[in-house]
Each structure stands twice: as structure tokens, then as C-alpha cells.
């Protein structure tokens, strides 16, 4: 067994997590071999550190932007695969950078505690609406809307008619005028055609069974186990189900992750999704460049888009904002309000022709004249 004091020497040279990992993997090695591993790890870690004054933001932008050009060409010249309805390439990357409120294809990957029940569970997840199991009719002469159910179909689907009636009441905010013979009827007095149409539209979307917003659920292979992939997202309701393994269940809707699990989970999901897009296109970008981007997007406790509505539009420098978009508006507002620019960033110093605060530009020397 090796002495614990070997690791104490490297406590300041290596992060705690790296040190713990090395400790667990070298516990069976002799002291001299373990020390060689520590020396190599410390050397590699020191080389990987950014130099003081390094323009990490510009490097990250270049590292992501250059493969992004390749991704543009590959995306538009790539023969699409019909069965994969997942947005890929540049459109998906833009979707992530803009943090769209409604992604084109919101998807969840639901892991179960018992994967053998995936097929049965997937069927139970799919949302069933009233229009899927009943016939809706509008009678403009008698001014009524009726919903007719097939009794056998309800029994086969294990649906209770009375519970459906309660859901209908909640949606329309009014008790039905008649619920006999497996038929729900609304016949409001003095109803206009517009009112009848609005009642029908509300009835069509009444939730009957399954998880809301989950349109389709299919079982796919993920490694050696079966996972449920859904079209549509409702992370909050899915995580409440006892059969679901919440620690591994994923979702590609960043806004949904932020709302349900918080900013740290949203940052991790954003990083994972960006990395997946680049990996699918076989573009090698160091994960640290993506980490800089995701850190900036999530730096103030909420996920912000990279654009005039987010990171770029919220910069403290007037010149930096004006250089990005809406130049005249930013300069005019600054002139009217008497805004001061401290000239602390790169963009604003380039605009006025000063040395930028990067690399040797961050050093400020004052020479004292000897008498």
C-alpha cells in the first residue's frame, strides 16, 4: 500500500476531483509508480491551463465557428434520413444557441427502473385526447354540441366515462346539459355559431389519458437496454412516475429542463446537446470551448440566448452593443442618457484604437523616475 503523504504534495497542483480519481485507480500500484502517474498528471494539467491574459472567448468562437461552416455545407448536402425526425446539424445548433422556447422536435429519453416493461409503459405514456376516442358533432339548427362514445372502445382502453365527464367540465368550465347513453351534450341558451365552435375546440383537446404533450412514445435501444423515446416533452409529470429512473431521464428542450430542474441542469443539458450535434457531424471541438459558451449563457442564473435579446444585447459597453446590431439605436440611446463606457472589453478598445486588454495588453507598468 502507498503512503497517503504522496498525494498531499499534489493537493495544490491538481484539482481535488482529479486527485481522488487517481487515488482510486492507483491504489494497487507501488509508491514509485503512483508517483510517476501523479507527476505526469500534474504536467499535463499544467499544460492544459489557459495562460493569464489568454483570449479564451475569441479562441472558443473560432473553434466553434470554423467547424460551423463545415456543418452548414454538410447539413444542406446531406441525404436526410426519414425515420429520424430529430433536427440535426446547423439548424439544431442555432436552435440551441438561440434557446428557442419551442424546439422543432422536443424529445424525451425516459429510462425505467425495470427496462423489461418498456413496451407496456410506452403505450401508457402517449396522450389520448377526446377527439381520438369519440365522435364530435355540431348541430347548428338545434344549437348544440354532442360527444358520442363507443362503450366497447372505452372498456378496451380501460377508460371510465364519469372521469371523462369531470375532465370535460374542467375544460369547458360548465356542466354538460346531458350525459346519458355515453353521450355528452352541451346546448347553451341563445348560443351563437361562434360559441358552439369554441366549445367544440375545447372539447377536442380535453386530456383523457397518458401524459400531456406526449404525442408519441417508442421504445429504442440505448446501449444494452431499452429506453422510451417520446415526441413531445413534459418532464415534470414524467419524473413523478414511480417506474421512471429520474436520475438518467433526459430531454432536449433546454427551457423545460431549466424550469423543472434548474440552471445547473439546463447548463449540463445545453452542453450535452451541443456536443452531440458536433459529434454527429464528426466535427472535433474541444469540450472546453463549448463550456465557455454555456457558462456565459447561464452566468446570471437564467439561460440567455446569444444575440441582441440575450448575451450580446445585455453587455455593459455601449460600443460592444452597437458593434453587434442596431448600431444607431444604441448610440442614440447612450447619447440621450449620457451613458459612460469604461472601455474594459475587447470590441470597444478596437473601435477607438486602443490596445486591447488581452495578453500583453493587460499589463500596466508605471515607471518611477530615479532622482
Query: 14 is written with which cell numbers?
Result: 491538481
- What backbone phi and psi angles, to 5 degrees, belong to 239? -70, -20
pLDDT given at position 270 = 95
Q: Are 324 and 308 in contact (CB under 8 A)?
A: yes
CATH architecture of 128-209: Alpha-Beta Complex (3.90)
Q: Which of 40, 50, 31 is CA-nearest to residue 13?
A: 40
Question: Which pLDDT value is given to residue 254?
Answer: 94
Q: How far is it, in rounded angstroms, from Cα 320 to Cα 351?
A: 9
Rounded-to-integer distance, Cα 92 and Cα 82, Å: 16
pTM value surpassing 0.95:
no
Using only the alpha carbons of the chain, give its radius of gyration.
30
User: Which pLDDT score is estimated for 325?
Assistant: 82
Domain coordinates of the chain in residue numbers?
5-48, 50-103+252-314, 128-209, 317-348
Task: Note the Cα 152 to chain centre separation in Å.
Answer: 42
CATH code for 50-103+252-314? 1.10.1790
164-183: string of b/e by CB count within 10 Å (b at 16+)?
A: beeebeebbeeebeebeeeb
Residues of the chain with pLDDT under 70: 1-5, 72-87, 156, 371
Cell of 86: 430529430
Helix (H, G, I), strand (E, B) or coil at 178: strand
pLDDT value of residue 266? 95
Amino acid at each position: 500500500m502507498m503512503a497517503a503523504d504522496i498525494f498531499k504534495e499534489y493537493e495544490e497542483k491538481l484539482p481535488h476531483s482529479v486527485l481522488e480519481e487517481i487515488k482510486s485507480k492507483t491504489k494497487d500500484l507501488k509508491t514509485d509508480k503512483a508517483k510517476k502517474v501523479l507527476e505526469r498528471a500534474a504536467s499535463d494539467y499544467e499544460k492544459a491551463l489557459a495562460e493569464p491574459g489568454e483570449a479564451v472567448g475569441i479562441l472558443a468562437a473560432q473553434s466553434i465557428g470554423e467547424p460551423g461552416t463545415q456543418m452548414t455545407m454538410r447539413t444542406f448536402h446531406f441525404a436526410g434520413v426519414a425515420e429520424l425526425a430529430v433536427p440535426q446539424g446547423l439548424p439544431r445548433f442555432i436552435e440551441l444557441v438561440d434557446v428557442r422556447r419551442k424546439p422543432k422536435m422536443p424529445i424525451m429519453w425516459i429510462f425505467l427502473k425495470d427496462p423489461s416493461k418498456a413496451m407496456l409503459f410506452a403505450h401508457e405514456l402517449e396522450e389520448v385526447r377526446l377527439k381520438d376516442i369519440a365522435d364530435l358533432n355540431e348541430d347548428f339548427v338545434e344549437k348544440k354540441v354532442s360527444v358520442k362514445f363507443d362503450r366497447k372502445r372505452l372498456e378496451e382502453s380501460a377508460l371510465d366515462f364519469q372521469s371523462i365527464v369531470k375532465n370535460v367540465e374542467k375544460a369547458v368550465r360548465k356542466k354538460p346539459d346531458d350525459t346519458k347513453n355515453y353521450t355528452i351534450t352541451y346546448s347553451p341558451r341563445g348560443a351563437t355559431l361562434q360559441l358552439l365552435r369554441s366549445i367544440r375546440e375545447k372539447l377536442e383537446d380535453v386530456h383523457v389519458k397518458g401524459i400531456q404533450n406526449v404525442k408519441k412514445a417508442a421504445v429504442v435501444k440505448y446501449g444494452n437496454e431499452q429506453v422510451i423515446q417520446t415526441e413531445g416533452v413534459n418532464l415534470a409529470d414524467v419524473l413523478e412516475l414511480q417506474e421512471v429512473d429520474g436520475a438518467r431521464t433526459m430531454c432536449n428542450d433546454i427551457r423545460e429542463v431549466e424550469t423543472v430542474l434548474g440552471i445547473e441542469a439546463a447548463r449540463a443539458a445545453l452542453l450535452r446537446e451541443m456536443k452531440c450535434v458536433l459529434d454527429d457531424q464528426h466535427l472535433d471541438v474541444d469540450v472546453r470551448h463549448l463550456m465557455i459558451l454555456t457558462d456565459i449563457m447561464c452566468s446570471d442564473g437564467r439561460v440567455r440566448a446569444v444575440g441582441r435579446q440575450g448575451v450580446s444585447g445585455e453587455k455593459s459597453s455601449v460600443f460592444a452593443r452597437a458593434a453587434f446590431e442596431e448600431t444607431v439605436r444604441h448610440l442614440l440611446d447612450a447619447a440621450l442618457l449620457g451613458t459612460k463606457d469604461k472601455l474594459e472589453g475587447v470590441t470597444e478598445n478596437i473601435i477607438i484604437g486602443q490596445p486591447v486588454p488581452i495578453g500583453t495588453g493587460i499589463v500596466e507598468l508605471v515607471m518611477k523616475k530615479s532622482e
